[in-house]
Amino acid sequence: MRIAVLGAGAWGTALAIAFAHRHSVALWARDPEQVTAMRVAGENSRYLPGHRFPASLALAADFALATDGADLVLIAAPLAGLRTTVQHLRDARIGTPFLWVCKGLERDTGLLPHQVVREVLGECLCGVLTGPSFADETARNLPTVVTIASTDAGFALRCAESLRGPRLRIYAGDDVVGAEVGGAVKNVMAIATGVCDGLGLGMNARAALLTRGLHEITRFGKALGGRADTFMGLSGMGDLILTCTGDLSRNRRVGLLLATGKPLDQITDELGHVAEGVPAAREVQRRAAALGIKMPITDWVCAVLDGSMTPIEGVAALMARDIGFEDH
């Protein structure tokens, strides 16, 4: 299979490396200087240092060249770049089936990725690849298990069968909303857990945040049309556990640094990568409010990000909430 990976960040690079061992892969970056630097170094020193490119991996700054003859397109741009990338596909009249790997809700519109795609292209053969996965570990060929969700279940299954490898297992599903909500809101919960750990509040507090965070994800996702069982799977519980506890999580790192009192602007500058939970938190809060859904952990994260509440004040507010039944 010929695959075009659009976006040479950490995750796009990791997937390009993983797939290049079994497929013909072209990795596209918008910046020609980045492509030149990657060719010279033989790796993506900026976003995924230490992982050599397979000899067969093609690098391209030319969009048409990267997508020419592709059987599958993989959009690995951050969510902020999804709409523009899909518009490129539309304008270039590229009708190739595609997957996206970004997670979150679009800033200002609050749309999930599939809704952005639908606004630009209408109905098309596409889906989301998501689940518990760190780019560094996937690039190192460590066992990784993810899922592909599409409204066309047959397409999802064919992609999963084609893209799987000895150490990359892929499941298929048709709950696109559930898969995307799990991937988006777990980043918000990772910020909360990072704050909790940064304050030294202990394992009891972390377990509570994970559990109640999953409850918020499920409540929000069901209101948007997702299925409850999806949130018990890889794109829900699996991704939540990894992102909230793994040291490679950028969103968890945001929380850890917020706990030290660093301002958000300084934190995002230091990261050097996109932490999707920061913009997602505000969009999740807005959509939840419009739906009349209570999401206290999300509200706390937004208050800390906005600077209207200190991390420890937020913890106190969560603990002081009225007592109720656990399933509410």
Q: Is 204 annotated as a binding residue?
A: no
Q: Is 69 helix (H, G, I), strand (E, B) or coil?
A: coil
Q: For residue range 220-237, what is the model confidence (pLDDT) as tens digits? A: 999 999 999 999 999 999
Give the residue carrying structure tokens 């999953």.
214
Concerning whether 262 is annotated as a catalytic residue, the answer is no
Residue among 186, 222, 262, 294 flagged as catalytic: 186
Contact 16, 5 (CB under 8 A): yes
CB 128 within 8 A of CB 113: yes
pLDDT of residue 238 exceeding 80, the answer is yes
Is 275 known to sit in a ligand binding site? Answer: no
Spacing of C-alpha 303 from chain mean position: 22
Determine which of 87-96, 127-136, 252-261, 264-273 has the lowest per-residue pLDDT on average. 264-273
- Predicted local distance difference test score (pLDDT) of residue 243: 97
DSSP string, 127-170: EEEESS--HHHHHTT--EEEEEE-SSHHHHHHHHHHH-BTTEEE
For each of the domains in the chain, give its residue range(s) and CATH number, in order of start: 2-174 (3.40.50.720), 177-319 (1.10.1040.10)
- Confidence category of residue 275, pLDDT binned at 50, 70, 90: confident
> What sign results for the dihedral spanned by CA atoms 228, 229, 235, 238?
positive
93: left (phi over 0), alpha (psi -120 to 50) or beta: left
pLDDT at 269: 86
The answer on whether 171 is annotated among ligand-binding residues is no
47 marked as part of a ligand binding site: yes
What's the pLDDT at 254?
96
| pLDDT digits 0-9 by tens, 69-95 | 999 999 999 999 999 999 999 999 999
Q: How far apart are CA 170 and CA 70, in angstroms?
A: 21
250 is in an annotated binding site: yes
- Average pLDDT value for residue range 254-282: 90
Beta pairing, strands 126-130 & 43-44: unpaired
For 279, the 3-state DSSP assignment is helix
pLDDT digits (tens, 9 = 90+) for 144-160: 999 999 999 999 999 99
Cβ proximity of 25 and 87 under 8 Å: no
Core vs surface per residue 134-166: b (16+ CB within 10 A) or e? bbbbbbeeeebebbbbbebeebbbbbbeebeee
- Burial classification of residue 103, based on how many CB atoms lie within 10 Å of its CB (0-12 exposed, 13-18 middle, 19 or more buried): buried
DSSP character string of 97-124:
-EEE---S--TTT---HHHHHHHHH-S-
Interatomic CA distance for residues 150 and 36, integer angstroms: 35
Give the residue-averaged pLDDT of 237-261: 96
How far apart (Å, rounded) are the C-alpha atoms in residues 26 and 192?
37
Q: How far is CA 316 from CA 196, 223, 311, in A?
A: 12, 28, 9
* Residue 59: both structure tokens together: 């690098």
Reported confidence tier of residue 313, pLDDT bands at 50, 70, 90: very high
Q: Indicate the pLDDT class of residue 270, thresholds 50, 70 and 90.
A: confident
Packing angle between helix 250-258 and helix 264-271, nearest 10 degrees?
A: 140
In this predicted structure, what is the pLDDT of residue 236?
98
pLDDT of residue 124 exceeding 90, the answer is yes
Which H/E stretch holds residue 89?
helix 82-91
**pLDDT band at residue 327 using 50, 70 and 90 as cut-offs:** confident
Number of helical (H) and strand (E) elements in the chain, helices listed first: 15, 10
83 is in an annotated binding site: no
The pLDDT of residue 75:
98
Work out the mean pLDDT of the chain and round it to a whole number.
96
Yes or no: say if 109 and 282 are a contact pair by the CB < 8 Å rule: no
| Nearest residue to 187 via CA among 57, 115, 279 | 279
Note whether 168 and 135 are within 8 A (CB): no
Share of the chain above pLDDT 70, in %: 100
